[in-house]
Amino acid sequence: MAQTLEGIRVLELGQLVAAPSAGRILADFGADVIKVEPLGGDPLRKWGNVSPSGSSWWWFMQSRNKRLIAVDLKNPTGQEIVRRLASQVDVVIENLRPGRLERWNLGYDQISAINPAIIYVSISGFGLTGPYRERPGFGNIAEAMGGVRYITGFADRPPVRTGVSLGDELAALQAVIGILLALHKRDHDPARRGDYVDVALTESVLSITEALIPEYVNAHIVQERTGNQLLRAAPSNTYPTRDNHWIAIGANSSGTFLLLVEAMGREDLLRDERFATNPGRVAHAGLLDDIIASWTSQYPLRELMDILTNAGVPAGPVMSAADIAADAQVQARGIIENVTGEGHEPVGMLGVVPRLARHPGHIRWAGGAIGQHTDEVLRDLVQASPENLEEWRSSGVIR
């Protein structure tokens, strides 16, 4: 069965998280993603815990379904090789420091001059314009300057991060959205003109902050940290259980609040005018959370889940990686897949999302060794001869 993006070729010039995550999503749905690494490899290969083969477990997932080539982009010959590759692809994705690719004659203007149909995606900290455009940027900076760090955590404690590279992953999603929009437009343009997609990490973070900016610019309300409480509806929080677990409960509509108090045997709360409306419940969320926590603390997690599920109250345990891997829903959906990695090493990783019924994505192979596909790609796309390959490799241009 043909995959959704089959026939689309992508050149990935990024490292670490944002651009490679965007490339992984495209590759999962059939795009031919050619990842260009430096000769020493993407630094992500050594981030976190590593497998017996020496690559990080994350690497196998992040670079899956991609053809891996290694080229020295600081070398003029390496730059020319990549320009020739760029003339044969539909999309370029990059997240290197602003201005670096332009100095190597690999920027949008240089590539679009030889390939007008190119869709060129630049992911940077602050975008291609404005006074911060040349600043280096990482996900943690974007999360701080995009507002998320300020509103995450408890009011009496410092701001905290979410535990994942949120800014980078959000930028990857915005990049994929931009690519799909540009592909659609290009393929309906008689001239088949491409586009330049400008993704800023800060703006990607800002895009999920909901009422943060509208409330300030219209009413001068500055949102503050409220811990695990949902700011604009209540009750919604995490609560302790008798067996030292935590459970998330979302009863923040009138209907679900009714179901919760019935499950608790506390219909009297419905007669309390403080809790009669959502604004009242929000105003007294701390008191309401204390009442709910006192009730949840009487039950072990499993029993509490049975009570709430049978009552129709949205609830779920706060789950670790071990809990997730053992969860019946996760297993039934097959979201964790086992793939053969380097040296036939079995590697477990998250499967493909989203799920398409007619044209689903697939994991065809796990990420592998540095330069695993260099010869294959250069033979196919730039008509490199065996002599070319030998010369480039011996001179340290490719690996």
Return the CATH number at 39.
3.40.50.10540
Number of domains in the chain: 2
- Which amino acid belongs to residue 358? R
- Mark whether 264 and 385 lie in a shared domain: no
Q: For residue 229, name the pLDDT band (cuts at 50, 70, 90).
A: confident
Residue 379 resides in a domain:
yes
Q: Residue 317 and residue 327: Cα distance in Å, rounded? A: 11
- Mark whether 15 and 150 lie in a shared domain: yes
Q: pTM for the whole thing? A: 0.93
Count of C-beta atoms within a 10 Å radius of residue 297: 12
What's the mean per-residue pLDDT of the chain? 95
pLDDT of 395 > 90? The answer is: yes
Averaged pLDDT, 126-139:
92
Q: Please confirm, yes or no, whether 306 is among the known catalytic residues.
A: no
Residue 341 resides in a domain:
yes
Q: Residue 117 and residue 289: Cα distance in Å, rounded? A: 56
Residue 53 resides in a domain:
yes
Averaged pLDDT, 106-122:
97
CATH code: domain of residue 309: 3.30.1540.10
For 71-93, the pLDDT digits (tens) are 999 999 999 999 999 999 999 99
- Mark whether 342 and 312 lie in a shared domain: no
- Mark whether 344 and 297 lie in a shared domain: no
Residue 177 resides in a domain:
yes
Q: Which of 90, 168, 195, 198 is catalytic?
A: 168
317, 347, 379: which is the final residue of a domain? 317
What's the burial of 305, exposed, middle or buried (CB within 10 Å: 0-12/13-18/19+)? Answer: middle
What's the burial of 192, exposed, middle or buried (CB within 10 Å: 0-12/13-18/19+)? Answer: exposed
Q: Residue 7 and residue 26: Cα distance in Å, rounded? A: 11
260, 288, 317: which is the final residue of a domain? 317
pLDDT of 308 > 70? The answer is: yes
For 311-364, the pLDDT digits (tens) are 999 999 999 999 999 999 999 999 999 998 777 778 999 999 999 999 999 999
Domain of residue 283, residue span: 236-240+246-317
317, 342, 359: which is the final residue of a domain? 317
How, if at all, do strands 336-340 and 315-317 pair? unpaired
Averaged pLDDT, 279-296:
95
pLDDT of 193 > 70? The answer is: yes
Contact (Cβ atoms closer than 8 angstroms) between residue 352 and residue 361:
yes
Cis before 235? omega within 30: yes
Helix (H, G, I), strand (E, B) or coil at 18: helix
Q: Give the pair of three-digit tokens for residue 185.
A: 């437009």
pLDDT of 1 > 70? The answer is: no
Backbone angles phi, psi at 336, to 5 degrees: -105, 120
Residue 49 resides in a domain:
yes
Residue 254 resides in a domain:
yes
Residue 217 resides in a domain:
no
Contact (Cβ atoms closer than 8 angstroms) between residue 199 and residue 122:
yes
